[in-house]
Structure 1
Amino acid sequence: MNETSTGYKKWLVWGVMVTAYMLVFFHRYSMGSMGDFIMKEFGTTAAVIGMIGAMYSWAYMLMQLPAGMLADSIGPRYTAATGMLVTFLGSLIFAYAPSVHVVMLGRFIIGIGVSVIFISTLRIQASWFSPTEFTRMSGLTVFMGKIGALIAETPLVIMIEKYGWRNTSVIIGVASLIIAILIFLFVRNTPQGDKYEHSDVSIWEGLISALKNKYTWFPMLVFFGIYASFIAFSAQWGNKFLQDVYHISKT
């Protein structure tokens, strides 16, 4: 990092990337607000709605290694911008789906699109911010992502009640397209431009090295157990639980 990374430029780059990351959390939590509307339109069951929600998680999980490989090979800028374009496509498929199976497909494609954003954001942070700032910026990034989750609650329900879940999905898709354009226009891999130094370590060497590190296993198990269960409940069924058990309104 050099002096060109100081000032407003690094904050502009980070701001665009973190806006994309807010959309990651938005989609993660959106089915908790959309589920009832989709269930009513297609006359389907809660189990099917659960499967629709799970499509995001399956896609996100399967894309983690490819996401890192893409960020290393073509750079985080193009990886993130392409991810937002894929999210735009998935949102349109989701919005215009004639059946629940196509809804699932759209949700899966959305999961693929957003799966590359976090690792790309971390790559950008590592290039634009000093090592002493990296941890603080990572925490701030996650904090901003949670704002996306909050938008997927009451604000999303209000939008759906006013415009319908299909039109709302189109609006969110257009937002993804706008973010993709902003990434192309304003984000660069490094303060020096898009020149990106690739790692000489292969993906398998990196994976084996990570698995051999004893400090990797504990947080991995925490995410596998506690965090996964928390997300499954809060993102998918938390709203429904509060409505049915405590008779709280959707908004």
Structure 2
Amino acid sequence: MDLSKRKWSIWTTLVIAFITVFFHRMAISVMADDLIRDLNLTGKTLGNLTSMNFYAYALMQIPVGIMVDTIGVRKISSLGMLITGIGSILFGFSSTISMAYIARFMVGLGTSVIIVSIIKVQTIWFRREQFSTLSGFTSLSGNLGALLATFPLAYLVMGVGWRKSFQLMGVMSLIMALAIWLIVKEKPDGEADKKKAFSFESITNGLKTVITNPYTWPPFAIMFLMVGSMTAILGLWGVPYLMHVYDMSKAQAAGNLSLVAIGFMLGGPMVGYLSDFLKGEIKRILFAATGLFTFIWAFIAMAGGKPNAVYLPIIFFMLGVTTICHILAFTNVKDVNPDSLTGSAAAIINVGEFVGGSLLSFLIGVFLDYGWGGTIQNGTRIYSVDQYQKVFIAIAIIGFFSMISTLLMKGKEKKVNIIHEEGSLTL
């Protein structure tokens, strides 16, 4: 296979795996009421269950970045999908909350490896000026998984139940583990192996290079604040909100939220191409995106937490378009850190999304339980629009701090030169 075909087959295989990552990440939302009923959950325990995936994902990001930079993409990503498949199947058989926690934690461990692996492949196999465009199409493909986890999954759950749905997802993940093992290759044929022996000291030096770089942290903040809050809504609380406040069916609620995924899918390639076309103009794009994100949540809050249903498709679509601009945070953190530490740098900021997503999923659940009026319908707690309005006010404030973070980013006019030690990790 020639170099061009080889690199595209590797990238495509990992991107298909990324579809399953998003599917697993967002799947809980459309079956929240089923889980509450069958596993006897409260809002707090449901938030905890969702957060298990995020906790594991966040916990593994820095180790995964190190392993991708040292052991390689093929071994790490195939092992990750194997663990994902086993965890998903186990979740389908869960009869207790403890078993469900363990299973979702396994899914988080397994899925944590894919995005860092893709970023590493894009750095090794493709030209630098292609990076943002490729990231955009990666986002499009991944968010196809988020779209599939809305109304298609809702209909699947209504047809075969949530248990068989997760078992099927697990089998698909196992198939992807095998595909990655057979197709993915570490580096182009004939390229010299530039890897140096690594040790605890070299690993810590590499991490120190990234962590002590002040320009690493504004992209991290964007992931923690903007993306983390959207993850909490899309991944858990969006469907219950629409069902409780607008009296929608599960399928209707999931269909409305699917517009966020469509916004992700259409916005990703456009944002990536725009950044590459403008030769790395990231800061202004992200400032505009975080500003619009903040405005949308403020509008929802000012509408009493229940804007006219006519506006919901536009609201959710635009939330998708604005949030997907976070892919430029990966481009930015790659540009301000050494290429040899791409995996570690991407992993560190990716922690932000999942720490933010898990923390907010949990805190929203605690807040909703605290103000719960005692209403139960079909075994599920029903929360009031006033409670959801306060949640949206908090997200608007979070959006404002995301805007501030973009102002602290390295702009294209400020070239950062980073000299790293011989002991740090290299390709």
Compute the TM-score of the two structures, normalised by the length of structure 1: 0.92
Note if contact 1:75-1:196 (Cα within 8 Å) is conserved in structure 2: no
> Paired residue for 1:59, among 52, 56, 63?
56
Aligned-partner SS, 2:248: coil
Answer yes or no: is the 8 Å Cα contact 1:188–1:194 preserved in 2.
Answer: no
In 1, the alpha carbon distance for the partners of 2:128 and 2:211 equals 24
Counterpart Cα distance in 2 of 1:12 and 1:222: 31
Shift of the alpha carbon at 1:78? 0.9
Q: State the identity %.
A: 35
2:131 aligned partner, one-letter code: F
Whether the 8 Å contact between 2:89 and 2:169 is mirrored in structure 1 is: no
Matched residue, 1:183: 180
Task: Return the alpha-carbon distance in structure 1 between the equivalents of residues 170 and 194 of structure 2.
Answer: 32
Q: Distance in 2 between matches of 1:14 and 1:178?
A: 17
Q: Equivalent residues in 2 for 1:203-214 (5 A)?
A: 203-214=203-214
Cα separation, 2, equivalents of 1:163 and 1:46: 25
2:95 aligned partner: 98
Deviations for 1:113-167, whole angstroms, at most 9, x for unmatched residues? 0001111111122222122222211221122111111111111111111111111
> What's the C-alpha RMSD, in Å, of the aligned pairs?
2.0
Aligned counterpart, 2:3? 5
1:160 corresponds to:
157
Matched-pair contact (CA < 8 Å) for 1:189–1:195: no
Corresponding residue for residue 246 of structure 2:
246
| Structure 2 residue matching 1:63: 3-state secondary structure | helix
Deviations along 1:79-135, whole A, 9 cap, x unmatched?
Answer: 100000000111121111121110111000000000011111111222221222222
- What is the rounded CA distance, in whole Å, between the counterparts of 2:102 and 2:162 in structure 1? 16
Moved more, 63-72 or 101-110: 63-72
SS of the residue aligned with 2:142? helix
Among candidates 28, 32, 36, match of residue 31 of structure 1? 28
Does the C-alpha gap of structure 1 residues 157 and 127 become closer, same or farther in structure 2, counting only changes over 3 Å?
same
Residue 238 of structure 1 deviates from its aligned partner by: 0.5
The amino acid across from 1:228 in the alignment is G
- Is 1:117 equivalent to 2:114 in the alignment? yes
Q: In structure 2, what is the Cα distance between the partners aligned to 1:32 and 1:20?
A: 21
When structure 1 is superposed on structure 2, of 101-110 and 69-78 the one drifting more is 69-78
Distance, in Å, in 1 between the alignment partners of 2:30 and 2:193 is 40
The amino acid across from 1:88 in the alignment is G
The one-letter code of the counterpart of 2:228 is: A
The 5-angstrom pairing of residues 66-145 of structure 1 reads: 66-145=63-142
Deviations 1:29-65 (A, max 9, x none): 1111122111111232222111100001100010011
Residues 1:63 and 1:110: Cα distance change in structure 2 (over 3 Å): same
Cα distance change of structure 1 residues 194 and 25 upon mapping to structure 2, 3 Å threshold: farther
Q: Is the 8 A contact 1:81 1:181 kept in 2?
A: yes
Higher relative contact order (CA 8 A, sep 6+): 1
What is the aligned counterpart of 2:12 among 11, 15, 21?
15
- Asked if structure 2 preserves the Cα contact closer than 8 Å seen for 1:5 and 1:129, the reply is no
* TM-score, structure 2 normalization: 0.55
- Shift in alpha-carbon separation, 1:5–1:130, aligned structure 2, 3 A: farther
> Mean Cα displacement is larger for which, 84-93 or 223-232?
223-232
